[in-house]
C-alpha cells in the first residue's frame, strides 16, 4: 500500500507540473495577444485622432474663408477677429494664489454633463466654447457636452456645425424645431443629460484650466449646493481674456431685480477668512457664498435640481432665472457658492439673446413671477420701482397666475424660509429703501458716467465704480417726501463755505431749509436742485461735478452746488431708482406691447 500511494503521488505531481506549465503558457499567450490587440487599437485610435484633427483643420479653413453669416454688428462681438483666432487657443491661468497646488480625489466625483444653449450664435464662439470644455476638463469627469440649437436660422450653423462636431468626442447636438427660449431649451438639455452633475454654460464662454474639479469638490461636501465658477471677461472687441488673480466680487441684486457685482461684504469675507485659515488655504482661493447667480455658468446635481423644481418652466425666453434660482436655493435650505479657483470667461454683450416680442415686458413678467413667489412683503419695492418705468407696466394673465400658483405651492412644499431671513443672513449689506422714498440708489452723472461717493471725510466726491459695473451699498442715497436726502441714518447737507456736499447727523435747522428736488429734462434724468436760505435770502443751486479748488480734497472730482445752467452737462444726473407707490400691474394700467 505505501508503494502504491507513492506512485500515485508521483504521477499527480507530474500531471500538476504539466497542468501548471499549460496554464503558464496560456497566460503568456493571452498577455501577448492582448498586448498586440491593445497596440493595434492604440495605433487605430491614434490614426483616428490624427485623421479627425486633419478633418477639423480642413473644416476650419472652409468655414471661415467665406463665412455664411450676418455682419459682426448683429452679434455685438468682433466675429471677424474671432474667426482668425484658434478655436483651441491658449488662455492665461488667472487663478489666485494656492489654486494650482490644490489636489482633488476625482475617484468620488460625479460625472458631468455640460449643457450649452445657442440661438444664431457665432459659429466660432460656439466651437471655442466647446473646445475649451473638452481641452480643460478631466476626461474621467466629463460625460458629455450637449449643444441645444434653439431653432437657429443662420446658414453657417446649419451648414457647418453638425459636420464639425461629428469629429469631436462626447459632443452631441439637439435641435429644436421651433424657438423655445433659453430657459426651456436648458430644460431640454437637462432632461437629456446622463451625468449626475449638470453644468449650464453660455455659448460665448471659455473654460479655464482645472475649472471642474473645484466645483465638484464642493458638491461632495454639500450636495444641496448650486455652484458657479468665478466669471472672467472676454472683451467683445479684442477677444482678450481678462481675469483678476486678487480678491474678486460676488453677485448681488438691485431692487428692480437686475444682477449686480458687489465687493465681497465684510461679514462674508470674515467667514471665508476664518474657514480658510482653519484649512490652511489662502482666503482668496476659498469658495464664498453668493447672494445671486450670474447665470452664464453654473452647475448643480441633477437629483437636487429636480428636488428644487428645476427652472420655472413658465418663464419666457430669458431673464431673471438666475436671481430666482439663487433665492429659491437659499430660502429652501440650500446654498449658492462661487469658487475663485474655477474660472470660466464670458463675453458680456449688450443682449445675449434675441426676443420674439416686447423684451421689456417678457423680462418684466419673469421678474413679477420671481417677486410674487419669493420676496414676500419686500416685493413692494420691486413693484414701486419698475412701475415708474412706463415700458415695464404689464400684468400676468389669469392663465399665468394659475401657473404662478404652482411655484408658490412648491415653496410651501419645500418649507422654504422667508425673504427677510435671506436678507438678514445672506445679504445683510443690501440697503432696504425707505417705504416712502421718491428717488433712491446711486446718483449717476450722465456726462462723465461717474457717481456720488462718500469720502472718509464725509464729503461727497465722485467715483467711477457705478451701478452699471457694481453696486456700492455705502453710496446709495434716498430722497424722501420731506425733500431731504438721506444715506443710512445721516442726512445730506450743504457746506455753505465751500458749497461742497457732506453727510451729517444733524438735520437742517428749518424744515424749509435745504429742500431737494429733481428738475427733469427727461423722465429719468435731470438736475438735482436744492432750495436753501442763506443770509436771510431764499436761494437755489444745482449739484455739479467739478474739479475742486478748495483746500479740502483740492483738485479732486467732487460734487458742488453751483448756479443752475441749462447748458452745463455736468449738472445732469440720474438716480438708480424712481419710486411710484401707486403701482397697479393690471390690464387697465398696462402699456401696449411692442415688437422687438
CA quadruple 269, 108, 303, 415: dihedral sign? negative
Of 235, 234, 228, which Cα lies nearest the Cα of 250?
228
Residue 369 lies in a domain: no
Report the distance separating Cα 261 and Cα 70, nearest Å.
Answer: 32
The verdict on residue 545 lying in a domain is yes
Let me know if residue 133 belongs to a domain.
no
Q: Which of 29, 44, 66 is the last residue of a domain?
A: 66
Q: What CATH number should be reported for the domain holding residue 557?
A: 2.80.10.50
Q: How many CB atoms lie within 10 A of CB 174?
A: 15
Range of the domain at 448: 439-578
Give a yes or no: residue 355 inside a domain.
Answer: no
Is residue 331 within 8 A of residue 419, CB to CB? The reply is: yes
Return the H-helix or E-strand segment holding 13. helix 2-65
Query: Which residue among 11, 33, 66 closes a domain?
Result: 66
Count: domains in the chain: 2
pLDDT of residue 42: 42
How far apart are the C-alpha atoms of 299 and 112, rounded to whole Å? 9
**What was the pLDDT predicted at 467?**
65
Residue 423, domain member (yes or no) = no
Structural domain contains residue 546? yes
Cell of 488: 443710512
pLDDT of residue 60: 73
CB 329 within 8 A of CB 220: no
Rounded to whole angstroms, how far apart are CA atoms 154 and 201? Answer: 21
226 and 331 in contact (C-beta within 8 Å)?
Answer: no
pLDDT given for residue 28 in this prediction? 56
Cell 461742497 belongs to residue: 500
Distance CA 156, CA 366 (A): 32
- The verdict on residue 214 lying in a domain is no
- Domain-ending residue, one of 15, 37, 66: 66
Contact 378, 423 (CB under 8 A): yes
pLDDT at 16: 54
In a domain, 335, yes or no: no
Please tell me the predicted confidence (pLDDT) of residue 67: 78
User: pLDDT 10s per residue in the chain (596 long)?
Assistant: 555 555 545 564 555 565 655 566 666 556 555 555 554 544 444 455 455 566 777 777 778 877 789 999 889 899 999 999 999 999 999 999 899 999 999 999 999 999 999 999 999 999 999 999 999 999 999 999 999 999 999 999 999 999 999 999 999 999 999 999 999 999 999 999 999 999 999 999 999 999 999 999 999 999 999 999 999 999 999 999 999 878 888 999 999 999 988 889 999 999 999 999 999 999 999 999 999 999 999 999 999 999 999 999 999 888 899 999 999 999 999 999 999 999 999 998 876 556 677 788 889 999 999 999 999 999 999 999 998 888 888 888 899 999 999 999 999 999 999 999 999 999 999 999 999 999 999 999 999 999 999 999 999 999 988 765 556 778 899 999 988 999 989 999 999 899 999 999 988 877 667 899 999 887 778 999 999 877 778 889 999 999 999 989 999 999 999 999 999 999 999 998 999 999 887 766 666 655 54
Nearest CA to 254 among 517, 534, 472, 480?
472
Residue 422, SS3 per DSSP: helix
Amino acid at each position: 500500500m505505501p508503494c502504491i500511494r507513492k506512485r500515485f503521488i508521483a504521477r499527480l505531481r507530474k500531471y500538476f507540473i504539466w497542468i501548471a506549465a499549460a496554464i503558464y503558457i496560456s497566460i503568456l499567450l493571452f498577455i501577448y495577444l492582448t498586448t498586440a490587440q491593445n497596440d493595434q487599437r492604440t495605433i487605430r485610435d491614434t490614426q483616428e485622432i490624427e485623421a479627425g484633427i486633419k478633418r477639423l483643420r480642413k473644416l476650419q479653413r472652409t468655414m471661415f474663408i467665406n463665412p455664411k453669416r450676418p455682419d459682426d454688428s448683429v452679434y455685438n462681438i468682433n466675429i471677424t477677429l474671432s474667426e482668425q483666432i484658434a478655436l483651441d487657443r491658449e488662455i492665461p491661468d488667472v487663478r489666485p494664489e494656492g489654486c494650482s497646488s490644490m489636489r482633488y480625489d476625482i475617484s468620488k466625483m460625479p460625472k458631468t454633463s455640460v449643457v450649452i444653449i445657442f440661438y444664431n450664435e457665432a459659429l466660432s464662439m460656439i466651437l471655442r466654447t466647446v473646445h475649451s470644455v473638452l481641452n480643460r476638463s478631466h476626461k474621467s469627469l466629463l460625460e458629455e457636452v450637449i449643444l441645444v440649437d434653439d431653432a437657429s436660422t443662420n446658414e453657417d450653423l446649419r451648414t457647418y456645425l453638425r459636420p464639425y462636431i461629428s469629429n469631436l468626442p462626447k459632443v452631441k447636438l439637439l435641435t429644436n424645431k421651433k424657438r423655445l427660449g433659453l430657459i426651456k431649451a436648458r430644460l431640454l438639455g437637462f432632461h437629456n443629460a446622463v451625468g449626475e452633475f449638470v453644468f449650464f454654460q453660455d455659448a460665448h464662454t471659455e473654460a479655464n484650466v482645472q475649472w471642474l474639479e473645484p466645483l465638484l469638490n464642493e458638491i461632495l461636501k454639500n450636495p444641496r449646493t448650486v455652484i458657479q465658477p468665478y466669471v472672467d471677461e472676454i472683451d467683445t472687441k479684442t477677444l482678450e481674456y481678462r481675469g483678476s488673480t486678487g480678491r474678486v466680487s460676488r453677485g448681488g441684486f438691485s431692487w428692480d431685480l437686475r444682477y449686480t457685482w458687489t465687493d465681497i461684504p465684510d461679514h462674508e469675507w470674515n467667514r471665508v477668512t476664518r474657514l480658510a485659515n482653519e484649512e490652511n488655504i489662502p482666503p482668496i482661493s476659498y469658495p464664498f457664498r453668493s447672494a445671486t447667480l450670474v447665470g452664464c455658468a453654473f452647475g448643480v446635481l441633477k437629483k437636487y435640481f429636480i428636488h428644487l423644481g428645476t427652472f420655472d418652466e413658465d418663464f419666457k425666453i430669458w431673464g431673471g432665472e438666475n436671481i430666482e434660482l439663487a433665492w429659491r436655493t437659499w430660502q429652501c435650505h440650500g446654498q449658492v457658492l462661487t469658487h475663485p479657483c474655477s474660472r470660466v470667461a464670458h463675453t458680456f454683450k449688450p443682449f445675449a439673446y434675441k426676443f420674439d416680442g416686447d423684451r421689456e415686458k417678457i423680462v418684466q413678467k419673469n421678474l413679477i413671477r420671481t417677486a410674487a413667489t419669493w420676496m414676500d412683503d419686500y416685493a413692494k419695492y420691486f413693484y414701486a420701482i419698475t412701475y415708474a418705468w412706463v415700458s415695464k407696466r404689464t400684468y400676468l394673465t389669469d392663465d399665468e397666475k394659475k401657473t404662478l400658483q404652482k411655484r408658490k405651492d412648491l415653496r410651501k412644499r419645500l418649507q422654504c424660509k422667508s425673504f427677510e431671513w435671506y436678507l438678514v443672513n445672506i445679504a445683510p449689506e443690501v440697503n432696504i429703501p425707505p417705504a416712502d422714498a421718491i428717488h433712491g440708489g446711486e446718483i449717476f452723472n450722465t456726462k462723465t458716467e461717474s457717481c456720488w461717493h462718500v469720502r472718509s471725510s464725509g464729503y461727497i466726491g465722485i467715483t467711477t465704480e457705478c451701478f452699471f459695473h457694481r453696486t456700492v451699498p455705502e453710496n446709495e442715497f434716498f430722497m424722501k417726501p420731506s425733500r431731504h436726502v438721506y444715506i443710512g441714518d445721516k442726512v445730506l447737507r450743504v457746506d455753505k463755505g465751500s458749497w461742497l456736499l457732506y453727510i451729517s447727523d444733524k438735520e437742517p435747522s428749518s424744515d424749509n431749509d435745504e429742500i431737494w428736488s429733481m428738475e427733469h429734462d427727461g423722465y429719468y434724468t435731470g438736475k438735482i436742485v436744492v432750495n436753501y436760505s442763506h443770509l436771510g435770502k431764499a436761494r437755489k443751486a444745482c449739484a455739479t461735478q467739478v474739479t475742486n479748488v478748495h483746500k479740502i480734497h483740492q483738485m479732486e472730482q467732487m460734487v458742488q452746488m453751483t448756479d443752475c445752467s441749462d447748458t452745463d452737462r455736468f449738472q445732469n444726473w440720474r438716480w438708480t431708482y424712481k419710486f411710484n407707490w401707486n403701482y397697479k400691474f393690471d390690464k387697465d394700467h398696462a402699456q401696449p406691447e411692442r415688437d422687438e
